[in-house]
Structure 1
Amino acid sequence: MGVSAKYKVILVDDEPMILRSLQAAIDWEGLGLEVAGTARNGEGALKLISEHSPDVVISDIRMPGMDGIALMKEVLTGNPKRVFIVISGYGEFEYAREALRQGAFDYMLKPIDHDELTGMLQRAAAHLDAQTENDKLLHSVHVLSVMARERMFSEWIEGNDRPLRYMQWMENSELEQEYFMAVVQLDHFLRLNEQWLMDEKRLWLFAIRNILEEWSLQHGGLTVFPFHSGEWIILLPKNLQPEKAKLGNDLIYQIKRYSKLSCSVGISRSSKGIGQLSMAYQSATRALYQRFYSEQEGVFIDQGDMGKEVQSAEMKYPKHLEAALMESVRTLDSQRMATLFDELKLYIEQHAFAKEAAERLLVEIAVVLYRHLEYANLLAEWPLDGLIQDLHEAGNLNELIGMLKRAFARQMNESLRSQVKEDGHSLIEKAKVYITNHYHKDLSMEEVAEVVDLSISHFCTLFKQMSGYTFLEYLTQCRMEKAKYILKHTSVKVYQIAPLVGYQDAKYFTQVFKKATGRTPSEFREETG
């Protein structure tokens, strides 16, 4: 064993000289051991053991108060894997035999032979090493077993049983009885997944799994494991069926309480046997379709109404609504457009579109309206891919419709304003005048864009096109020209000029001036004075 990986040792004897002798005569470091403390009686030893949690205890049998055997029983009850070595006198052999029966690792007689004790400690360290390796092996076997079992369940859920038939020895008999499935699905997972760094994602998913595993253990769950990204599966016994809604709401509460994340829970109909895992999953996810029509997280239970299947493949495309929306866009009637989007929402709800089908329909209509605006030359700076990405990230139908209303209303209102605006050249001239009159203030591009009633992106592009400068370049040039005039025609000190031309920090003003002119303010004054 390496010297750096030490096992801790506690020495217990009522004779101080023996304790000092043991500490000095044994090469503890060479054995990979460390004396964590010494005690002169059983009570003191228990206190040390509580503080240091040693791996080895070496104790005399005969001590005042609690003797060595009583101490050993207490110590091994707390941790049976500890090594306990007893020391006894020649007349106390029966005590030593009793200690061995009670679980002592070994014993030795006084006077202590240090070589003999060293050999005993070497065996003790080897014993502890073996225990550690066994524990690691058992842990690895357990982890592999859990992973393989989860993989097996996942394969069965996806309807693929043949590749894993050789693993059915791992199937527990709990699925031979009736059970039901809860699918826990994080809300807005796509958005969260983009925000989280890789390490953050691992931490969040690990935390949620711990929450669900503890919850499952407390409520008698059969198993719990992650399935798709942002989705976990819990199998629950049939006897908990009357409490489905209560259990689902508690799951939502626990995840929100400990992770501050929202989720929804879909709960399946009753199933039996591992072969019905796939049907149970379909049942639970079918229940989760209802989340698309809900404005907040919730518990959605498949009640077994098989007559009302999702019919989205047979639904007719609402051409009448598309045509009416295109007309509202053409006439820039945002109020009419909002009403038509509400009608489209009602149409989707009445026909029970699945989320994917409804999303596909809305994206198609959004593209048609976008192209209509584009052909009419009514678009400001608005990338289509950004709109589609936002639609994909929406969690429910209400969010989707709201996004479309806001996005198209914004563009239509922008187009209306642009029809009565001045041309680009006069707008930029107006901006330049405003900059000339306000250069000495803490002037921002947002403020100037608002003055000329343009979006920031549109103003930025137009200003560069019309003036040949970026906003910051033009503002800096204006400030430098004013600074040069003051330096040339007045005796105002340099540090006093800075706030007069919009800089609160005189040192920074000097840096900007030198970069713009190649000279410091003082050098400029000397050369032009």
Structure 2
Amino acid sequence: MNRIMLIEDEPPILHMIKGMIESSPQGFVVSHTAFNGAKALKMLEEDGAKPDLIVTDIRMPVMDGLQFMRELSERGYEIPCIILSGYSDFNYAREALQQNAWDYLLKPLKDDHLEQALAKASAMLRKRKSKAERAYMKRVLQLADDFGEEPANPGYPHYQLLLIRRGSYRTGAWEDRLPSPGDGYQRWNDDAMEAAVSPEWKAAPIWWMSGWASNERIAVRALMDPQSGAVRREAAESMLAAWASHAAADEGAVNMAVSEPIVEEKLAATLRTLREALARETRFGESRLWMQGGDMRRPGFVLTSELDQACRSLTHSADYESFEKAMQGWVREWRKEGYGQAEAESLFSAIVRSFHAHWPKEIASTVAAFDANELVSGCRTLDEAVEQFCLYMKEGYAALAKSRPDRSAKDLMENVQRYLDEHFMEPIGSDKLQQVFGYNKTYISNVFSDVVGMPPGKYLAKLRIDKAIALIHERPELSLRQIAELIGYEDSLYFSKVFKNATGVSPREYKERREKDGQSGVM
């Protein structure tokens, strides 16, 4: 029930409007009344009145409605106001709108005009409340950024979490390798997602938010009764099928994890559990559902002695063809075992470690830049993952033959570095670099690490943070959201996380310290 403060200097009219408001189906109650703006301000300041909406006349003694709205703004209140006036003078309407009036209604007040205004206000308040509750849930889930959203505790006894991921599991080490919208990548569409939500879920409030990685989406559902209100497997499977049908072909499968009913204190830990479960259960090109409490856990991959011995034998030769032939035999066994993303990453990492232990030091330093998740998470099938891994190893074998990259490779890396310096505001990932320069993305990453000292993704992230710091110093009028966009981050939450990882403080803390130092004369 939304509360209204009604300000009107004529008691009969005040009681009439109060009756009109409370008889509306929009669910408002007049919780406070006052005969002028001064009395209303006193109620707000001294009595702690907290209305959701204010309906006020313009012409009143002591303090009129326009002056009242100016005082509200100066004192930091953000309460929407509907202005009532018996005067149709445009100047009144114009000044009311300049004071951010939510609506302007003429007396004598008509039922349908008031009903329309209340309907709009009700929709706005629902949206505002949902936004404040989502901000609260983000903080509870440890997903909150620092861009000033005011939180409001929804106050439900239980919740149920839903984690949805399009495509493969990503550690976040190279988020910017995601393709741009122009390359066919589709952003999350909350309307389409909510349309596929089970009727069981729609029976209670749901808050949607971004996940830890850019291809993840999180829904938190309120539960009054955890026994009768929780979504079960059948409904979850139906939602997964609907979301999978909407995913673009180049985005791969859709994976979903659903929690058991939980209390607020367990939300953050449960979200981590869901994400770990999806990472463990991911299969190439296959949409999968994981229900908390299920028995889908698989044992972790362990490098067998046979595979380790085969790797040792292959490292004594610079013959890449022998390695590729061995890989073909191994893959046939892996496919029989039904290995998914997590197993493929473990396998490739184990093979690289084995080779790294036996190759010459200068070659091993190149191989050490290997990131299994970066390689595997962009693949839709095991065959594609193996192909990318073989290309990576092929470059290692080439380096083994040549000892170190020649000058032409170093020239290429200088061009790559120059490209990153000039295009840092654009979506750039390993696929983009492969497209621009015509070399395998793993080769570019390895040689760039050898020449520059870090992979392209880390170099780009460092470059963007350096640009952000410069903007904070040089353009103090810019908001943090504007700075994030100027350096190439559309997701302000992800920008905040990257900034804090790089500097040890959030961008808001850094900016506040900068402003404080500037005011005190410390530079």
TM-score by length of 2: 0.41
Structure in which a larger fraction of residues adopt helix: 1
RCO (CA 8 Å, sep 6+): is it higher in 1 or 2? 2
TM-score by length of 1: 0.41
Task: Report which of the two structures shows the higher radius of gyration computed on alpha carbons.
Answer: 1
